[in-house]
């Protein structure tokens, strides 16, 4: 278990912005499972994540790609600081920093930069917490 440092946060920001969507989809599918990754991205067909995970697969719509990239950043932050199970639990739990909404619900509906920022900020606070 390691705490999120500024250099690590910057690396995650860079990776989330520059990695191919296929690589991000693979990571989310392996970390969260196909259904949960699809739900996070706002997809009704869970198999679509598997299609995105192929290098020669289709490109997602811009909104779905943003959700996948932010989801990747959030899951990596929490998984690196704790573990994948904690990341899953955090995504589905209500969060006081997000007006008692579940982070995964906010990501699924996110459209504006402010909505994405709120969820990333809440994840960063958890990943930066030291006991």
In this predicted structure, the answer to whether residue 49 has a pLDDT above a threshold of 70 is yes
The number of domains in the chain is 1
Which pLDDT score, from 0 to 100, does residue 130 have? 56
Residue 1 lies in a domain: no
- Closest C-alpha to 49, from 24, 77, 70, 71: 24
Residue 77 lies in a domain: yes
Residue 74 lies in a domain: yes
Is residue 6 classed exposed, middle or buried when 0-12, 13-18 and 19+ CB atoms within 10 A define those classes?
Answer: exposed
Which pLDDT score, from 0 to 100, does residue 2 have? 75
Instruction: Say which DSSP state 60 is in.
Output: P
pTM above 0.85, yes or no: yes
Give pLDDT tens digits for 54-88: 988 899 999 999 999 999 999 999 999 999 999 99
Which pLDDT score, from 0 to 100, does residue 44 have? 95
Instruction: Please report the sign of the dihedral spanned by the C-alpha atoms of residue 90, residue 115, residue 32, residue 7.
Output: negative
Domain that holds residue 43: 6-127
In this predicted structure, the answer to whether residue 5 has a pLDDT above a threshold of 90 is no
Give pLDDT tens digits for 12-35: 999 999 999 999 999 999 999 999
When pLDDT is cut at 50, 70 and 90, the band that residue 1 belongs to is low
With beta carbons less than 8 A apart as the criterion, state whether 70 and 16 touch: yes
Residue 95 lies in a domain: yes
Sequential DSSP letters for 84-110:
HHHHHHHHHS-BGGGTTB-HHHHHHH-
In this predicted structure, the answer to whether residue 89 has a pLDDT above a threshold of 80 is yes
User: How far apart (Å, rounded) are the C-alpha atoms in residues 79 and 62?
Assistant: 25
């Amino acid at each position: 278990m390691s705490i999120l440092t500024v250099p690590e946060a910057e690396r995650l920001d860079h990776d989330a912005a520059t990695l191919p969507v296929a690589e991000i989809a693979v990571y989310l599918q392996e970390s969260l499972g196909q259904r949960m990754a699809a739900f996070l991205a706002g997809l009704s067909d869970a198999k679509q994540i598997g299609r995105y995970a192929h290098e020669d697969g289709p490109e997602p719509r811009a909104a779905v790609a943003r959700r996948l990239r932010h989801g990747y950043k959030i899951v990596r932050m929490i998984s690196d600081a704790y573990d994948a199970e904690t990341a899953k639990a955090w995504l589905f739990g209500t969060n006081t920093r997000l007006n008692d909404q579940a982070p995964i619900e906010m990501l699924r509906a996110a459209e504006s930069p402010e909505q994405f920022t709120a969820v990333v900020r809440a994840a960063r606070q958890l990943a930066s917490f030291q006991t």
